[in-house]
Structure 1
């Protein structure tokens, strides 16, 4: 039985978040090697140590899909917009030639 960072059981088809980067993905497979549990995520097709992911409730999943099929994180997009809104525009930054 694989368990996550909070000792919750992980099953195939669960959605998990990699705690270091926030990557969210669906668990495709689970394996144990040298007494370490690993989970394979669909988004990256990479194996992650089970103790470095956390199982998400359906209400916690923030991944949305666009009509083109590309996915994005709504919260990440909001943060980027806020960063752009907080940028200061200053007329002395660049000078025109002439």
Structure 2
């Protein structure tokens, strides 16, 4: 769609392509990359989910979507985690792993 649709969020604030919004049902945050209108209403496409949301479920926000939690794990920490998991696996018996419960 070449023309930009003029619309507002749940609070009446103007929404345009490039606006940062929050989907009120799940707190998903993203930037609007497209707006379209059809017989069912006006929809905005969020860059973080690549899904369209009805604009009456969106709220303008100052927050920006993050790229996810990023952290570094040292080689020593990783070796320790692997060692702990290996020890835990060796101490388990097949009966504990395949314990059946319920009717039968």
Task: Tell me which protein shows more helix as a share of its residues.
Answer: 2
Equivalent pairs, count: 64
Partner of 1:71: 68
**Matches of 1:43 and 1:29, distance apart in 2:** 12
| Structure 2 residue 8 is the aligned partner of structure 1 residue 3 | yes
Partner of 2:74: none
Partner of 1:34: 39
Q: Stretches of 4+ moved more than 3 A in 1?
A: none
Please tell me whether Structure 1 or Structure 2 has the larger radius of gyration of its CA atoms: 2
CA drift of 1:62 comes to 5.5
**Matches of 2:60 and 2:44, distance apart in 1:** 11
TM-score normalised by L of structure 2: 0.57
Partner of 2:57: 52
Is the 1:2–1:38 Cα contact (8 Å) retained in structure 2? no
Cα distance change, pair 54–43 in 1 and its aligned pair in 2 (3 A): same
Cα distance change, pair 42–5 in 1 and its aligned pair in 2 (3 A): same
The SS at the match of 2:22 is strand
The SS at the match of 1:71 is coil
Is the 1:13–1:27 Cα contact (8 Å) retained in structure 2? yes
